[in-house]
Amino acid sequence: MAVLQSLYVLLSLFIFVLIGVSLYYDHKLKIPPAPTLPWVRRKILKALKKHLTKDNVFIVELGSGWGGLSTSIARNFSKAGVRGFELSPFPYWFSKLREGKRVRFTRADIFDQDLSEYDAVVYYLSPVVAERLSAKFQAELKPGTIIVSNAFQLPGFEPVEVLETRIGVRIKIYVYRT
Ligand SMILES: C[S@@+](CC[C@H](N)C(=O)[O-])C[C@H]1O[C@@H](n2cnc3c(N)ncnc32)[C@H](O)[C@@H]1O
C-alpha cells in the first residue's frame, strides 16, 4: 500500500512538473508545441519535393517540437540530413527518442543557431517572431535556400508558391526561396 501511495505521489509530482514547465515555455516562446497535422505535413513534403533540386540536402526544422515532422522529412528524403532545434524540454526529450542516423535534435534557441549551411528551412512558429526570423534569414541563408512556413507569412519575402490544405480549417503553406 505504501509503495502504491509513493508511486501515486511521484506520478502526480511528475504531471505537475510537466504541466508547469510546459506552460512556462509556451508563455516564454509564445507558442505551444502543437504538432503539424498529418495533411499539412503531406503538403510540406510535397513542397520540399517540388522545390529541392538535389537529393543530398541538409534541412533544418526550427522549433521541432515532438520530432514528428523532422523524422517524416528524413523518411521521405533518403539522402537528406535533418536537424531539429527545440527549446521546450518535454517535446525535445520525446523527439530524442525518435533520432536516427540522418535526423538529429538539439535543445537550443533557434535564434542562436547559424543557418548558413542549410538547403531548406521548415518551421511552424508564430507571427510574433516573423520579423526577427525574416532578418535572420536575410542575413544568414545562402542563395537558393528553400523556406517552408506552416501557416504564417514571412515579411520581406515573396512566396514562390502557396499551398492550401483542403481538410477542415484551410491552412496555407508558404514556400520561399532566398
Ligand atoms: C507549433 S510548434 C511546432 C512543432 C513542430 N515544428 C511541428 O510542426 O510539429 C512550435 C515549436 O517551436 C518551439 N519554439 C518556439 N520558439 C522557439 C525558439 N526560439 N527556439 C527553439 N524552439 C522554439 C516551441 O517550443 C514549439 O515546440
pTM of the predicted model as reported, rounded to 2 decimal places: 0.93
Instruction: Check which CATH number belongs to the domain holding 112 and give it.
Output: 3.40.50.150
68 lines ligand 1 (CB under 6 A): yes
Report the C-alpha gap between 175 and 46 in whole angstroms.
11
| Whether residues 81 and 110 fall in one domain | yes
Query: 31-40, 81-90, 116-125, 138-147 — which is least confidently predicted?
Result: 31-40
pLDDT at position 1 over 80 = no
More confident residue, 65 or 2: 65
Q: How many Å from the N-terminal Cα to the C-terminal Cα in the chain?
A: 63
pLDDT digits (tens, 9 = 90+) for 94-143: 999 999 999 999 999 999 999 999 999 999 999 999 999 999 999 999 99
| Host domain of residue 168 | 38-177
Q: Are residues 25 and 45 in the same domain?
A: no
Q: Are residues 125 and 76 in the same domain?
A: yes
Q: Do 72 and 92 belong together in one domain?
A: yes
User: Ligand 1: does its nearest atom lie under 6 Å from the Cβ of 82?
Assistant: no
Shared-domain flag, residues 56 and 144: yes
Number of domains in the chain: 2
Q: Is the CB of 89 under 6 A from ligand 1?
A: no
Q: Cell 504531471, residue?
A: 15
